[in-house]
Amino acid sequence: MPALVNYRGDDDYHTGGSLCSKDSTRLLSVYSPPCKRQRISDSYILFFEQEKKPSIEILPDEILYEIFRRLPCGQARSASACVSTRWLTVLSNVRASEMVHGSSNDTEMVQENDGFLTRCLDGKKATDCRLQSVAVGTSARGGLGKLSVRGSNKVTKLGFTAIARGCPSLKVLSLWNVPSIGDESLIEISKECRLLEKLDLSHCHSVSNKGIAAIAQNCPNLSSLTIESCKNIGNESLEAVARCCPNLESITIKDCPNVGDQGIATLLSTLSLVLKKVKLQSLNITDFSLAVIGHYGKSITNLSLTGLQIASQKGFWAMGNAKGLQSLTSLSVVSCYGITDLSLEAIGNGCGFLKQMLVKKCCFVSDRGLVSFTEAAKSLECLQLEECNRISEQGILGALKSNLKSLTIVKCMGIKDSAQETSVLTQCVSLRSLSIKDCIGFGNTILAIFGSLCPQLQSLELSGLCGITDSGLSPLLENCEAGLVKVNISNCLNLTDKVVVDLARIHGGTLEILNLEGGRRITDESLVAIADNCLLLNDLDVSKCCITDNGLSCLSEGVQINLQILSVSGCSKISNKSVPFFKKLGQTLVGLNIQQCNLISSSAVDSLVENLWRCDILY
């Protein structure tokens, strides 16, 4: 042992033979498995592995670009794009016009660019990689015609450059809440997608006048433009659109603080002969813009004005008295303080062909203005009043002197259930549709007056009216001579089976749609009457009513031949016993709602889903 410890390796060494002798080999084999002698060097193995690597991967992007643009068909391009992200990126940069095709593919290319396809990418699904894939894949399948991107911060210029270069057939582009998209992306679109007809931008805060101007200059076919909540878009954009888009028919501008009178006036005056639909909401425009609309809006058919807080009575009065809105057929005015009795009457006098009118949250309109407007607007057919609390039952009844076909009243708290002198009122034989919703003062007295004045009603909606009872509604049902087709008496808590029985008896031969939702006093007796009388019924809603399995049993044996939609949602007394009745009704059903029917088990639901395979079941 001392000799071994003191050994330095410089004087004694082994001379008995190789370490790989038979003895040493036998010794090593005890501690490790036998190994074959290596015959190929490491350098040769490395060279062999390099030889196995596909040679095309070492080519630069420029060479791949030239190869890819010569691929024979769209299927080959799509397959190549699936190889790697690099190949997808290179392929997405190849413009459709740069593709080299042989004579056998000429017909295919004509079909590829027609723009038949629609793609919608929402949230996390909207990425640059997905847009590149869309650009490559759609070219061989009809061409991309419509693209919508919503709610994504992962889309950049890279993805839209691919869309621009690969989809020259793009005609409709919608961007909603895409903060990373700016002017550069729109400039790329404008350069390549010159067939663009419709652009919709909402909450795109990085887009400014520069991007809109590029679209206007390069896309002469633009016919519809929507700009909503884009804080960097102002008057310059509208001026560029007015100058370069002679085919613009529809414009919507909402909540853009930099848009003012200059942009609106330029747009309306320049495109006065082509603009048909105009919607302005929450803009800092004054009476001047309204006067321009009234003077130059010769071709406008649909006009919507919402939340114009600066515009006064003078502006709306000038818009009507200018008498330029001779083509206007539909007008919507919401939350505009400038709408008063005087300005409303001026609009009625100035818009001779107005057929549809919506007045909502205009607190200065009273009975006098309403009656004057309906007398002046000779062509008016549809009138909708919402949350106009200075309008009472006298104004409503006075409006019936006109030739209205449809009247809708929603949340007008000024209406009271008071008696009126009916001798001075005339029948409105033209009225076909009456809708009263959530007017807490509406009751039996005023309802009876409507019944005597409107004998030709075909559509009746009385929703959320706790003041009406059977005694008030039954006379109206008796006086409807034409036959009711659509009836909605949902959430009228004081109506009972009696009124449903009368309805089925009187109008069962014409009734097609019936909504009894929320009728806590509606029971199986109503279903029996419906089953016996309503032959043409195709839509029935008895959600949250007190019906049971027995009522559904009677309904399944009824005379109706085409019941397509049935809702019993929230009917707590419906159980598994109704499953056979649902199956029998399922011969014609295409929609069934059994949500919140807690006595129907999951196994019963599975049985319904299996048997009613043509029916869309909500459970």
Task: Give the rounded percent of residues in the chain with a pLDDT score beyond 90.
Answer: 68
Q: How many residues does this entry show for the chain?
A: 619
- Tell me: pLDDT of 99 over 80: no
Would the pLDDT of 74 be above 70?
A: no
Two structure tokens written together for 121: 């990418």
- The pLDDT confidence band at residue 571, using thresholds 50, 70 and 90, is very high
Q: What is the mean pLDDT of residues 376-395?
A: 95
Q: What pLDDT shows up at residue 309? A: 93
| Per-residue confidence (pLDDT) for residue 119, from 0 to 100 | 86
CB neighbour list of residue 299: distance below 8 Å, 6 or more residues apart: 272, 273, 274, 275, 276, 327
- 351 in helix, strand or coil? coil
Contact present, 326 and 349 (Cβ < 8 Å): no
pLDDT value at residue 161: 87
Query: Torsion angle of alpha carbons 598, 602, 606, 612, nearest 10°?
Result: 0
Instruction: Please measure the distance between the N-terminal and C-terminal CA atoms of the chain and give it in whole angstroms.
Output: 89
User: Which letter does DSSP use for residue 430 in this model?
Assistant: T
pLDDT tens sequence across 277-327: 999 999 999 999 999 999 999 999 999 999 999 999 999 999 999 999 999
> What does pLDDT average to over the chain?
85
In the DSSP assignment, the letter for residue 38 is P
Place of tokens 């791949």: 64
Residues 530-562 have pLDDT tens digits of 999 999 999 999 999 999 999 999 999 998 888
Alpha helices in 17-84 (DSSP H): 22-31, 42-52, 61-68, 74-81
| pLDDT one-digit tens code per residue, 237-292 | 999 999 999 999 999 999 999 999 999 999 999 999 999 999 999 999 999 999 99
| Side-chain half-sphere exposure of 213, counting CA atoms within 13 A | 11
Lowest mean pLDDT among 73-87, 116-130, 422-436: 73-87
Q: In this predicted structure, what is the pLDDT of residue 14?
A: 42
Confidence of residue 169 (pLDDT cuts 50, 70, 90): confident
The CA distance from 313 to 365, in Å, is 11
- CA 219 and chain centroid, separation: 25
pTM: 0.82
Q: Using CA atoms, how far apart are residues 455 and 436, in angstroms rounded to an integer? A: 17
Task: Assign 134 a pLDDT band (cuts: 50, 70, 90).
Answer: confident
What is the rounded distance in angstroms from the CA atom of residue 147 to the CA atom of residue 349? 43
Query: Regarding predicted confidence, which is higher, 392 or 73?
Result: 392
